[in-house]
Amino acid sequence: MSGIKLVIGNKNYSSWSMRPWLLLKAFDIPFEEINIALYQKNTAEKLGPYSPSLKVPALLHNETTVWDSLAISEYISEQLLDGRGWPANPKKRASARSICAEIHSEFPNLKKEWPMNCKASVPMAVSDRIEDEIARIDAIWSCCRRKHGVGGDYLFGRFSIADAMYAPMAICFRAYGARLSMEAQRYANTLLANPHVQEWIRQGREELESMPLGNVSNM
């Protein structure tokens, strides 16, 4: 497989960049990684040749450009994996797509107040709005594992787009001290033990850039 470039932001902070990166890594798809530091004076200038939205991530595959994490993941599954990015079973696939859409569009308070930071280890106060969103993710993880997790340790058994989409939340929950049910915590531990997740965290911790908390949400 050639001609694949993935444009990403800071690994310490950019949860949206992590998602397609992790999917490519999990399925052993070779790609060129282009890392552009965010919130610098020349960030937009550097992103211009790659991303129409001037945001990360962006995937370039031969003559095709795709941006937005979920759109990129769909493209990877369709064009590079013969659909293997999603569960093969139609009911499981429908559930997987639904929970991916949910993490993509919902949980505004977690995204704003508990942004991904691979270096962080600071227990945070849990407001009612944060507690409600944590509880919803806990329910998603626990329900998927019980109903669909046969055959592996991930949400739908084997690793899929759904796991790539939720992996940054495992980092956030560990960083800020979220309290999860036993089943959800077991799944979070599975994500954190994934060698590609560990690689991302390690590289994120090695980065030198530092940003104010308010700048790193939804990156």
Per-residue pLDDT at 213: 52
Tell me, yes or no, whether 103 and 195 share the same domain.
yes
Per-residue pLDDT at 196: 98
Per-residue pLDDT at 125: 85
- Mean per-residue pLDDT over the chain, rounded: 94
Q: Is residue 69 part of a domain?
A: yes
Q: Which residues of 95-130 are buried (b: 16+ CB within 10 A; e: fewer)?
A: bbbebbeebbeebebbbebbbbbbebeeeeebeeeb
Q: Is residue 48 part of a domain?
A: yes
Tell me, yes or no, whether 133 and 45 share the same domain.
no
> What is the DSSP track for 36-105?
--SSSTTHHHHHTTT-TTS-S-EEEETTEEEESHHHHHHHIIIIISTTTTS-SSHHHHHHHHHHHHHHHH
Consecutive 10-residue averages of pLDDT for the chain (219 residues): 88 97 98 94 93 96 96 98 98 98 97 95 92 98 97 98 98 97 98 98 92 52
Q: Residue 141's domain spans which residues?
A: 90-201
Tell me, yes or no, whether 71 and 46 share the same domain.
yes
Q: Is residue 210 part of a domain?
A: no
CATH of the domain at 125: 1.20.1050.10
Give the pTM: 0.94
Tell me, yes or no, whether 79 and 135 share the same domain.
no
Tell me, yes or no, whether 196 and 119 share the same domain.
yes
Tell me, yes or no, whether 172 and 80 share the same domain.
no
* Residues constituting the chain: 219
Residue 202 to residues 192, 206, 208: CA-CA distances in angstroms? 12, 6, 13
**Contact by Cβ (8 Å): 57, 67:** yes
Between CA 200 and CA 193 the distance in angstroms is 12
- Number of domains the chain contains: 2
Domain boundary among 84, 101, 135: 84
CATH of the domain at 25: 3.40.30.10
What are the residues facing 157 on neighbouring strands? 154
Q: What is the pLDDT of residues 40-79, one digit of tens each?
A: 999 999 999 999 999 999 999 999 999 999 999 999 999 9
Q: Is residue 173 part of a domain?
A: yes
